[in-house]
Structure 1
Amino acid sequence: MTSPDATAARLPWDAADPYPYYERRRRDGDVVWDEHAAAWLVLGYEPAKRVLTGSGWTSDPLANPGAAPAWRAMDPDLLRHNILFTDGDDHRRLRGAARDVFTPGFIAGMTDGIEAIAAAIIDELPAHTEFDLMAEVAVPLPISVAAAWLNLDEESAAPLREESPAISAMLSDFSDAATVDAGAAAFTALVAEFLPLAADRRTHPGDDLLSFLAADPTVDLEDVVITAVIIAVAGHETTANLLGAAVLRLASTSGSHPVDGRLVTELLRLDGPVQAVARTATGEHILGDVRIRAGEPALVVLAAANRDPAAFDEPDRLHPERSDPAPLTFGYGAHYCLGAALARLEITVALRRILARGPNLRGDPVWRDTSAIRGPERLPVLFGR
């Protein structure tokens, strides 16, 4: 999963509509220095791909000399064992343990289960009654999928539902020490809860993510659990926000579009929730006409790269038939999102059921008050049927 950056929460773009800020900065170039973030902003599509795929960069937040104090106060084990913040052999080892469970065949085999979960959540909501789509659908659906995917019974799934909000808040804002403390405590609680489960799955494996991870003897059980928690919580965070933004966009757009892979790709391009991912240079780089030196931080602004007019015609327009390059919403290269195919499947299944109910917006959305992850906090909707 992609993850927000420690510095991104301090950036001066508007949480509801960051795109005008990106375009103003793009006038100065595809790679610009931002005083607020104390980092290079990589706004262009091609430079973004170069950073995400090239050597000479690290994902370790502590490599950034200006890392927020909350990062440095965090338990180093949560960073050292975290698939989001490791590179090289450590990252390949953690990623390799989850490789088999993210094959197209395995994900396709989850379709019936996700359809059943979506039906239980969406189809049971009454027509002609206003409700908050985020609270009733967008947030609970991916959590329920994650619980099923980890093969958790109701008792084991309860801590995942209880602790996820604090972890999600931490992933959205690493600049607030209290938020980080609460998120780290929630993360530690989930690790303690799932360690015995992972140990049991290593001995008695099943057909689930936790068993696949635990089956690899080269991965410590603590790594197994941390990876499972990160995938579940970060996947829930991004899927919930993307689903809310997608419903808002489609309900506000005249005409209709078939919910297929092309539409989902276009929604990912326009409304990807993670605004930026962080890297720190470990060597000297030339990006465009900018020299970035070792030790200098960069924010790869995925949301800006996905609307780069040099890569996408009419970049602010919903155009599912476009044949432009793939968006960078799920990252690129070694850190490409493991759960991308699962997120696409969840969004596709949920959107088809929601649109079949004839959603009508019932007022303006309330957007999350963070620039690290964009998405509605509250979205009032009424089903017409």
Structure 2
Amino acid sequence: MNWEERLYLAAHPLAYPLLRGVARRGPVVRVPGVGVVVNDASLARGILMDGETFRKDGPGSPGDLWTPVLGPSVLLNMEGDAHRALRRRLTDLFAPSYTASLCARVLAEPLARLADSLGRGATVDLVDAARVMAGTVIGEVIGLEGGSEAAYRDLFEQGERIVSMVSLRTRRLSPSQVRRAHGVLDPLGDIAAKAYLAGDESTVMGRMRALGLSEDEARGAAGAFFLTGTETVATLVPRLIALLADHGQLRRVAHDLSLHDLSLHDSSLHDFSLLDRAIEEAMRVTTPTPVMLRSVHRPATVGGVAIRPGDRVLIATHNCCRAYGPFDLDRPRPSEPRRLWFGAGPHFCIGYPLAMAQIRLVVRALLAAGPLVISRRSAARGVLIPTYRYLAVRAERAGT
């Protein structure tokens, strides 16, 4: 059993075998108590592109889960004209040039400390380091000022506790879960509102005000960014390094970066180095969004299966992506699974440039520190997105 399977089994000891078992039943399978499960990337992409039939704002959809917590207008629970109008206003919020500058600025000190630790031969827990850096960036996004490492670590853990309330069978959060989520998100909303009212257009919240969003919309968006913008990066970085190490590719990717002579502060989305290929391949294998939910609003047929209004569709993104084989940097991949974990069409993740900017910066810094050796690791339990509980690494040249 490889480590990726261990991570999934540790996180979901019952649901993961069920999910993988359903993949063997066909491209579309109706599972009692779960919904209509889609295991094919092409069919999944078609569903994500059809916002009229398959919606995010009906029974069993993400709207059912998150509207009581985030409010009615946060993109991830909207469809139709209202969704298109809000998304148009947010189109330039995370432009590549802005996200590159933001990440380079706020991650400069954490990355310098990380490089220094590895350079001195210290063993570093990449899980903790990635959480602190993800918390640092999202803290900047929502307007948190003067946070310490402990504060950013706590910020991440609070978000993790909210997201971990959700399982494959969860349709709605209970009243007590909603109260717990508000206990975390309301103070963050107050921070975001303060930054919004200050109107500084160098900040994300200030830019939202300039784009014409209301204070309530900005608060909701801050909550959504907080819930969706930390775990993707924090879980991916350790898993990417582990995949490269386990497949003997760490030195190769580091050497390719040195040949490209890329600055650690260049997070352009147009970087087509081997690192970009490694990030894409790691995301395909790890699938940061293992499942996606939609509610059916009109009759349809998907993969030969009739689907009725009111049905809950569960896109098994992990099954869709893993169908194309194990981690392999040299095997050509078709277009069907490409970035499916970020969605498709009108709901493609608006924070994609921000996530990629963070991942590139952190991974480049790690690879520049020298050949890394994994000395210890353990899988996390009780989490929604599978991850390591810790992944201890050291720079090989510093330890010899």
In the alignment, the residues of structure 2 paired with residue 131 and residue 159 of structure 1 have an alpha-carbon distance, to the nearest angstrom, of 19
Secondary structure of the corresponding residue to residue 77 of structure 2: coil
Is the counterpart of residue 171 in structure 1 residue 166 in structure 2? no
Q: Secondary structure at the match of 2:22?
A: helix
- 1:270 touches 1:318 (CA, 8 Å); kept in 2? no
SS of the aligned residue for 2:293 comes to strand
Would you say 1:95 and 2:105 are equivalent positions?
no
Partner of 1:324: 334
- Offset, 1:106: 2.6
Q: Is the 8 A contact 1:266 1:320 kept in 2?
A: no
Letter in 1 for 2:322: R
Q: Which moved more, 1:266-275 or 1:89-98?
A: 89-98
Q: Which residues in structure 2 correspond to 1:57-206 (within 5 Å)?
A: 57-60=54-57, 63-64=59-60, 71=65, 76=68, 78-110=70-102, 112-113=104-105, 116-126=108-118, 127-135=120-128, 137-150=129-142, 152-154=144-146, 162-174=154-166, 175=170, 177=174, 180-201=178-199, 205-206=200-201
Equivalent position to 2:372, from 356, 359, 368 = 359
Is contact 2:69-2:178 (8 Å) kept?
no
State the secondary structure of the residue aligned to 1:254: coil
Residue 22 to residue 239, structure 1, CA distance change in 2 (3 Å): same
Q: 1:189 to 1:75 in 2, by over 3 A?
A: farther
State the one-letter code of the partner of 2:307: I
172-181 or 118-127: bigger deviation: 172-181
Q: 1:361 to 1:159 in 2, by over 3 A?
A: closer
The code of the aligned residue for 2:21 comes to R
* 8 Å Cα contact 2:62/2:76 also seen in 1: no
Distance 1:66 1:100, change over 3 A: closer
What's the counterpart of residue 8 of structure 1? none
Of 83-92 and 315-324, the range deviating more from structure 2: 315-324
C-alpha spacing 1:342/1:77, structure 2 compared with 1 (3 Å): closer
Q: Does residue 223 in structure 1 map to residue 217 in structure 2?
A: yes
Cα shift readout 1:303-353 (whole Å, capped 9, x = no counterpart): 111123xxx3xx213225624212311111111111112211211121122
Which residue in the other structure is 1:269 paired with?
Answer: 284
Give the structure 2 partner of residue 9 of structure 1. none
Alignment correspondent of 2:318: 303
Q: 2:29 maps to which residue?
A: 32
Aligned to 1:252: 246
Question: Which residue matches 2:352?
Answer: 340
Q: Displacement of 1:150 after TM fit?
A: 4.9
Query: What's the TM-score once normalised by structure 2's chain length?
Result: 0.79
Identity of aligned residues (%): 21
Query: Where does structure 1 lack aligned partners over 5 or more consecutive residues?
Result: 1-11
Q: Is contact 1:84–1:335 with CA below 8 Å preserved after alignment?
A: yes
Please give the per-residue CA displacement for 1:122-172, whole angstroms capped at 9, x wherever unaligned.
21325443342211x110112212333455421699977644422332223
Determine the C-alpha separation between the residues in 2 that align with 1:38 and 1:22.
10
CA deviation after TM superposition for structure 1 residue 367, in Å: 2.4
The letter of the residue matching 2:25 is: D
User: What do you get for the CA RMSD once the two structures are aligned?
Assistant: 3.1
Letter in 1 for 2:139: A
Structure 2: 5+ residue stretches without partners: 1-7, 257-273
For the residues of structure 2 that align with 1:114 and 1:197, how far apart are their CA atoms? 17
Letter in 2 for 1:28: R
Q: Which secondary structure state, in structure 1, belongs to the residue aligned with residue 289 of structure 2?
A: coil
For residues 7-29 of structure 1, the C-alpha deviation after alignment (integer angstroms, 9 at most, x for no partner) is: xxxxx966379876544322221
> Structure 1 residues 338, 353: closer, same or farther in 2, change over 3 A?
same
Instruction: Rate the CA distance shift 1:84–1:320 in 2: closer, same or farther, 3 A.
Output: farther
Question: Is this contact kept in 1: 2:103–2:357, CA < 8 A?
Answer: yes
Q: 1:99 offset after TM fit, Å?
A: 1.4
CA contact (8 A) 1:118 1:349 kept: no
Size of the aligned set, in residue pairs, is 357
Q: Give the counterpart of 1:213 among 208, 217, 235.
A: 208
Q: Is the Cα contact below 8 Å between 2:35 and 2:313 reproduced in 1?
A: yes
For residues 168-222 of structure 1, give each alpha carbon's deviation from its aligned partner in whole angstroms, at most 9, with x where no partner exists: 3222323575555322211122112322321221xxx3222111111133x2211
**What TM-score, normalized to structure 1?**
0.82
